[in-house]
């Protein structure tokens, strides 16, 4: 058996194309473009790369991108004042404060200050609660992207057994809730799970989001399982390499011979995250104008 490769890059490109088409329709209906404000505090190199990528993608989708770059010595009060100003700005539909924040700023307090209706990252406790009780809100981008890939490949997930490895608020917990809402049977596994290989071995769907390079071994997997690898880890450089290669949380080379389908790293889940961020921003724009978001978003 050789696993089908789930091409997240291609799926994300199609989603971004749909978002672009619907963003144009929104502009015609509302008389303005949808707007995403991204706030970057400090000089973290990885965060700067992410912010540039989000800016380019937002503009390419036909939406307004508002960047706010603050110095690393910005205090919490100044940041919260900016967030409140963005909450009140009718041109801004989505607010994203790039994490991590510098030491001394309470990330949870900043997230809590963002209006839940502009929280396109889906991190606000109100949106977490809405997801838990089945109300309409914003879901964190990575797990929602994973669900899109799963339903595209498998269709109806009812009755399937799914194991989510990792229990973070950003991926693990919302991923489990989305799978539960799709009528799958869910186990959330973590660092204290007893006999993790046996737990994983029951699963029709495995979502690995633990942040440990190639932790999930091929012989843990049930034959034909669908594997969504959220992890992105850089190995130490081999001899002659300038930098180590990127790998996921799953032993990809081994898993390809056992799984029914698997996402690669890179090119699997990663491209979905920004695509879903754009999707969430456009949904927020429609809602903020009192319009019904299109069904194909």
Beta strands 205-208; 226-229: pairing state: parallel
Q: Which position has the token pair 């011979």? A: 257
Does 48 qualify as catalytic in the annotation? no
- Residue in this structure with the two tokens 């978002």, named with its chain if needed: 19
Backbone angles phi, psi at 67, to 5 degrees: -100, 135
Catalytic residue list contains 121: yes
Which residue of the set 33, 54, 222, 256 is catalytic?
A: 54
Phi-psi region of 134 (alpha: psi -120 to 50; beta: other; left: phi over 0): left
Give the span between the Cα atoms of 133 and 97, in whole angstroms.
26
Residue 217 to residue 273: CA distance in whole angstroms: 25
Class of residue 112 by CB neighbours under 10 A (exposed 0-12, middle 13-18, buried 19+) = middle
Residue pair 289/30 in contact by the 8 Å Cβ criterion: yes
Identify whether 266 is preceded by a cis peptide bond (ω within 30 of 0). yes
Q: Which two tokens stand for residue 105?
A: 């700023």
- Catalytic residue flag (residue 98): yes
Check 98, 173, 204, 251 and give the catalytic one.
98
Say if CB 79 and CB 39 are below 8 A apart: yes
Structure tokens at 212: 């440990």
Active-site hit among 121, 204, 229, 249: 121
200, 188 in Cβ contact below 8 A?
A: no
Catalytic residues: 54, 98, 121
């Amino acid at each position: 058996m050789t696993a089908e490769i789930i091409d997240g890059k291609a799926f994300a490109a199609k989603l971004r194309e749909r978002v672009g088409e619907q963003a144009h329709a929104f502009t015609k209906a509302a008389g303005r473009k949808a707007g995403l404000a991204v706030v970057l505090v400090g000089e973290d190199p990885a965060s700067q790369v992410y912010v540039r990528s989000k800016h380019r993608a937002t503009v390419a989708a036909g939406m307004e991108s508002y960047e706010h770059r603050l110095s690393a010595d910005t205090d919490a009060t100044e940041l919260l004042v900016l967030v409140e100003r963005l909450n009140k700005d009718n041109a801004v539909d989505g607010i994203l404060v790039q994490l991590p924040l510098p030491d001394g700023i309470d990330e949870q307090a900043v997230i809590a200050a963002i209006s839940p209706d502009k929280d396109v990252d889906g991190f606000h406790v109100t949106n977490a609660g809405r997801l838990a009780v089945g109300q309409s809100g914003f879901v964190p981008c990575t797990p929602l992207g994973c669900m899109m890939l799963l339903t595209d490949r498998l269709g109806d997930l009812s009755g399937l057994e799914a194991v989510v490895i990792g229990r973070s608020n950003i991926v693990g917990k919302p991923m489990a809730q989305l799978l539960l809402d799709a009528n799958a049977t869910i186990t959330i596994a973590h660092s204290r799970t007893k006999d993790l290989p046996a737990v994983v071995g029951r699963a029709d769907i495995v979502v690995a989001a633990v942040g440990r390079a190639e932790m999930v071994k091929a012989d843990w997997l049930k034959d034909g399982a669908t594997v969504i690898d959220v992890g992105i880890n850089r190995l130490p450089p081999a001899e002659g390499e300038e930098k180590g290669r990127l790998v996921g949380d799953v032993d990809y080379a081994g898993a390809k011979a056992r799984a029914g389908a698997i996402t690669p790293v890179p090119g699997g889940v990663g491209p979905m995250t920004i695509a879903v961020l754009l999707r969430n921003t456009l949904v927020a724009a429609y809602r903020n104008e009192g319009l019904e978001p299109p069904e194909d978003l």
